Amino acid sequence: MFIADIQMHSDLLINYHKLRQECPEITADLRPSSISGLLQNNYHGVLRSRDDAGSRVLIYRIGQWNPKEFTAYEVFRVSLITSELIVQEWETQRNGLKAIFDLQDWCFAHALQINPSLAKKISSVLTDSFPLKVRGIHLINEPIFFRPVFAMIRPFLPDKIKQRIHMHGSSYAQSLCDYFPKAILPPEYGGTGPSIDEVCQDWTEYIMQSEDYLYRLSLDLGGGDIESSKS
């Protein structure tokens, strides 16, 4: 078991460095200031409390992403930044994460930015390039024309991830509470916890406070070209 764990973490590390080499548009510059407009628009937050299984719960609000201002690669960078921060938490390493994607206001401009190459890279991070266990993916407010995009991503996902994807539609308030305690969910999602704006603002503040750490991480992992862009 111990040897197998060492091999698994070694493989993850190799794959992670490979991802960074092959996808610099996402990984080279992890400074949150590079995507501050997206963060400050309350696009993303991490709930203050974990769920009953000890998993971190992440929320993404697609409607807060303006595709005219930020590319899909920059949006995906938000996930990588959060992953770099929460992977330091022992409890998260052990119990993984769950994500809620609110697809309210998803439009064709969003869909046009998702291509097979990006879909494959998203799958790589979800499965074999980052030492975090994805325990569940919950989609809400998904429109009909999101399905072709999901169909593009789905073939790249392993069966264990496919089985952890739940589509709730627009009547999600009760069904989300079947998976998460009401006490930790924002009222906008059927819970009694802090509002989604509070959650996003808190997490954005934490991310921005981590600017120096993330900048050093970018340099350590090969993002040397960002030095000139910072000055």
> What amino acid is encoded at 140 in this protein?
I
In angstroms, the CA 144 to CA 1 distance is: 44
Task: Give the percent of the chain with pLDDT over 70.
Answer: 80
In this predicted structure, the answer to whether residue 65 has a pLDDT above a threshold of 70 is yes
Label residue 19 by pLDDT band (50, 70, 90): low
The terminus-to-terminus CA distance of the chain in angstroms comes to: 48
In this predicted structure, the answer to whether residue 157 has a pLDDT above a threshold of 70 is yes
Query: What domains are there in the chain, each with its CATH number?
Result: 23-230 (3.40.525.10)
Q: Are 30 and 84 in contact (CB under 8 A)?
A: yes
Higher confidence at residue 131 or residue 66?
Answer: 66
Q: At what angle do helices 116-127 and 72-86 cross, to 10 degrees?
A: 10
Q: For residue 190, give the nearest of 138, 113, 144 by alpha carbon.
A: 138
CA angle 122, 37, 69 (to 5 degrees): 70
State residue 97's pLDDT score: 96
State residue 132's pLDDT score: 82
Label residue 158 by pLDDT band (50, 70, 90): confident
* pTM score, whole prediction: 0.87
In angstroms, the CA 39 to CA 220 distance is: 24
In angstroms, the CA 114 to CA 134 distance is: 21
State residue 24's pLDDT score: 67
Mean pLDDT of 83-106: 94
Min mean pLDDT across 24-33, 94-103, 151-160 is at 24-33
